[in-house]
Amino acid sequence: MEKKICVITGGGSGMGLATARLMGKTHYVIICGRTVGKLQDAIKNLQKEGIECEAFPCDVGKLSSVQKLAAHASELGEVQAVIHAAGMSPHMGEAEDIMQTNAIGTIYMNTEFAKVMGEGGCILDVSSMSAYLTPAIVMPRKLYKYALEDVELFRTKINKRLRIFPKSVRPGVAYGVSKDFAIWYSKQSALMYGDKGIRVVCVSPGNFETPMGKLEEDEADKFTSHAAIKRLGKPEEIAYLFSAIVDERNGYLTGLDIICDGGVVASGVSAMTR
């Protein structure tokens, strides 16, 4: 295959699908998600636009599933870009499920794709502005180091910490913690894989016009009123940012988180604001 490979998790809709449209101009695109039907619809639309692509079902919270994805992608050609946009919001599951997908899933994606990528490769992890809006006192950052030593131990310790919160707020806390962890782990990954020539960058989006964004509509309205740009972001806007970050010409950009939220975090608002 002449084109390099771009893998996009959560690529069936929203910002992942918008990114596939841009990356498809220069790469062969593999979009991934748990819902096969949604992926097939997305593939049909992309192919109508002349984009070379395929769908591959993957649950990022399952190691075996991520390993199959990484092996398949590397068999097709050189994997140059991985955009890990899959995630669960507080309205999509219980606290432990959110942690499994958002935090453990990031560990699995970075670890397995670093094994098959090389010089010029870029992994882009997607966090959330919630990592900055959730009070720092909530974040169990002393536990994050266990993720580098023993993933199962990390999972046990982090879930035990979540259980100290009332059940009603646990999914929201888990989401904020998981996204804070994703930023931390992305930076650690940049340090771990730099010698291989792999860059790792994190992006923290604000509220966007996506299916997941619709689930958080009430929260979005609250934060948008504090933003510098008082509207929701468009998927095409963040897709442009994603595609620019993974571009090989950005070869010195690694080990940081980029906030793309219309200025919400800059306003000083917090998750406690009502």
Kindly state the average pLDDT of the residues 34-53. Answer: 91
The predicted model scores a pTM of 0.94
What are the C-alpha distances in Å from 47 to residues 43, 99, 111, 219?
6, 34, 30, 35
pLDDT of residue 216: 60
In a domain, 259, yes or no: yes
Reading the block at residue 200, the tokens are 């790792």
By CB atoms closer than 10 A (0-12, 13-18, 19+), residue 64 is exposed
Residue 215 class from Cβ within 10 Å (0-12 exposed, 13-18 middle, 19+ buried)? middle
Question: In this predicted structure, what is the pLDDT of residue 100?
Answer: 98
Q: Tell me if residue 255 falls in helix, strand or coil.
A: coil
Helix (H, G, I), strand (E, B) or coil at 30: strand
Q: How confident is the model at residue 143 (pLDDT cuts 50, 70, 90)?
A: very high
199-205 and 257-260 strand pairing: parallel
Answer whether 123's CB lies under 8 Å from 117's CB: yes
- The pLDDT tens digits of the residues spanning 61-113 come to 999 999 999 999 999 999 999 999 999 999 999 999 999 999 999 999 999 99
The per-residue pLDDT for 272 is 65
Any idea which of 88-92, 176-180, 240-244 has the lowest mean pLDDT? 88-92
For residue 128, pLDDT over 90 is answered with yes
> Is 257 or 38 the better-scoring residue by pLDDT?
257
Residue at 273 is within a domain: no
64: CB partners within 8 A, 6+ apart: none
The contacts of residue 159 (CB under 8 Å, 6+ apart) are 95, 96, 99
Look at residue 56 in the predicted model and tell me its pLDDT.
95
Domain for residue 240, yes or no?
Answer: yes
pLDDT > 70: percent of the chain: 95
Q: Is the pLDDT of residue 30 over 90?
A: yes
The neighbour count for residue 29, using CB atoms within 10 Å, is 27
Amino acid 213: pLDDT = 56
Distance CA 106, CA 60 (A): 8
Q: How confident is the model at residue 27 (pLDDT cuts 50, 70, 90)?
A: very high
- Whether residue 14 lies inside any domain: the answer is yes
The percent of residues in the chain predicted with pLDDT above 90, rounded, is: 87
Tell me if 172 is assigned to some domain.
yes
Q: What is the CATH number of the domain that holds 227?
A: 3.40.50.720
Identify the pLDDT of residue 225: 86
Number of compact structural domains in the chain: 1
What is the pLDDT, as a whole number, of residue 270?
81
Which tokens is 8 given? 């996009």
Domain that holds residue 203: 4-267
Which pLDDT does position 271 carry in this prediction? 73
* Res 54 pLDDT > 90: yes
pLDDT at 231: 92
Give the pair of three-digit tokens for residue 195.
């010698």
Q: Is 272 a domain residue?
A: no
Q: What share of the chain is helix, strand, coil (3-state, %, to 5)?
A: 55, 15, 30
Tell me the pLDDT tens digit for each residue of 195-227: 999 999 999 999 999 766 555 655 667 788 889
